[in-house]
Every structure is written in C-alpha cells, then in structure tokens.
Amino acid sequence: MGVHAASPLMSGWHAANAEQLELPPLYEIDDVISAFQSGGFEAAASRLAMRFVPAKGHGHADRGTLLDWLAYYYDQKLLLRFSRVPEG
C-alpha cells in the first residue's frame, strides 16, 4: 500500500488529483489493519524491499527530493499481509 493518509509525498498528490481522477479516499494504515482484524484476520506489515530508486526518469522529479523518494519507498510504501485466523 503506497498511497495512504500518512504518506507525506503521495497524500498531497492524491489531494490535488482526487476529484479529477475520481480517486477513492485515503485510509490510515491503523484503520486498515483494524478493519481486517475485526473481520477475523491476523495482520502483519513489512517495508517494501527496494534496491535502488532511479535518480532520473522515475517521474517524481517535480515532487520532492531524491531523499524524500528514498524515504517514501523504504519507509512509507508498505506490504500488508492478512491471514484468516482458524476457528476453533
């Protein structure tokens, strides 16, 4: 999940483009986790494993510095895993 309410770079982009692109609302990660847990799932999160983020040509040059984008890919872009808790 890369575009969430706490994503400092993408939440601004989302707000600026939501109406024109008819984007769904952004969610807080804790709210997403809680929703799945209340539905009987175990939840886990991980950072996305990235090796390199291109300095040029990645389409983000007009929004933030390269260090901003490294932080986005390493700290803000998340992998979420939800597993059904066995009944019993």
| Segments forming the whole domain that contains residue 79 | 10-84
Query: Read out DSSP for 22-88?
Result: TPPPP--HHHHHHHHHHTTEEEEEEE---S---SSSSS-TTSS-HHHHHHIIIIISEEEEEEEPPP-
For the segment 5-36, what is each residue's pLDDT rounded down to a tens digit? 888 778 888 899 999 999 999 999 999 999 99
Q: Is 8 helix (H, G, I), strand (E, B) or coil?
A: coil
Give the total number of structural domains in the chain: 1
Does residue 63 or residue 4 have the better pLDDT?
A: 4
Other beta carbons less than 10 A from residue 23's beta carbon? 13
- Residue-level pLDDT at 57: 60
- Residue-level pLDDT at 49: 81
Residue 27 located in a structural domain: yes
Residue 17 located in a structural domain: yes
For the segment 37-84, what is each residue's pLDDT rounded down to a tens digit? 999 999 999 988 878 877 776 555 567 788 888 888 888 888 899 999
